[in-house]
Chain A
Amino acid sequence: MNNISFRMLRFALVLLITGLFLGVIAAFVFFDTGTFNSFLPFYKLRPLHVSASIFWIFTSAVGGLFFYVNEYYEERKNDSLLLKIASVVWVITILSIFISFLTGNFGGREYWEFPPFLAIPILFCWIIFAAIFFGRVFSKQGKTPVFIWMWSTGIIFFLLTFAEANLWLIPWFRENVIRDITVQWKANGAIVGSWNQIVYGTAIYLMTKISGDESVAFKWPSFFFYFLGLTNLIFNWGHHTYNVPAAPWVRNISYIISMTEWIILINIMQSFKSKLTEAKKFANIIPYRFLLASEIWVFLNLILAIMMSVPAINIFTHGTHVTVAHAMGTTIGINTMILLASLFYIFSKRDPQLISKKRHIITGLLWTGNVALLVFWTALIIAGITKGYQIVINKVSFETAMQIIRNYLYVFAFAGIVIAVTLTYISIILLRANVFVKKEAQT
Chain B
Amino acid sequence: MNFFKRYIYQIIFSFLICLYIYYSFTVYFAGSGKYNLSSGQKELDGQLIWQQKNCQACHQIYGLGGYMGPDLTNIISDRNKGEQYARIIIQNGTQRMPKFDLSSAEIDKLISYLKQVDGSGKSTVNPEDIDEFGNYNLAEYKNE
Contacts and interface: CB of A to CB of B under 8 A. Distances in A.
Contact of B134 (A234, A244, A246, A312): A312
Nearest to A309: B134
B89 interface: no
Given A107-B51, A176-B37, A245-B141, A311 B136 contact: yes
Interface residues of A, number: 72
B33 A245 contact: yes
A248 B135 contact: yes
A167 to B, nearest CB: 8
B88 interface: no
Contacts of B55: 43, 108
A174 B95 contact: no
Contacts of A44: 54, 57
Contacts of B82: none
Interface in A93-120: 106-110, 113
Nearest to A242: B136
Contacts of B141: 245
A37 B63 contact: no
Contacts of A37: 96-98
Contacts, number: 190
Contacts of A33: 68, 95-97
A399 B96 CA distance: 11
Given A186-B27, A240-B63, A247-B32, A231 B16 contact: yes
Contact of A110 (B44, B64, B116): B64
A177 B120 contact: yes
Interface in A156-173: 160, 164, 171, 173
A34 interface: yes
Contacts of A171: 44
Interface residues of B, number: 65
Main secondary structure of the interface of B (DSSP, over half): loop
A246 B47 CA distance: 19
B44 A175 contact: yes
A234 B142 CA distance: 26
Interface stretch (A9-17, A313-321, A346-354, A426-434): A313-321
Contact of B144 (A110, A176, A230, A245): A245
A284 interface: no
A178 B65 CA distance: 15
B16 A230 contact: yes
Given A43-B54, A106-B52, A178-B33, A243 B126 contact: no
26 contacts: A29-B68, A37-B97, A37-B98, A44-B54, A46-B66, A106-B51, A108-B50, A149-B9, A176-B36, A177-B39, A179-B28, A234-B16, A235-B23, A240-B63, A242-B136, A243-B62, A243-B125, A248-B33, A310-B134, A311-B134, A312-B134, A319-B64, A391-B124, A392-B125, A398-B70, A398-B71
Interface of B: 9, 12-13, 16, 19-20, 23-24, 27-28, 30-33, 35-39, 44, 47, 50-58, 60-71, 80, 95-98, 116-117, 120-127, 130, 134-136, 138, 141-142, 144
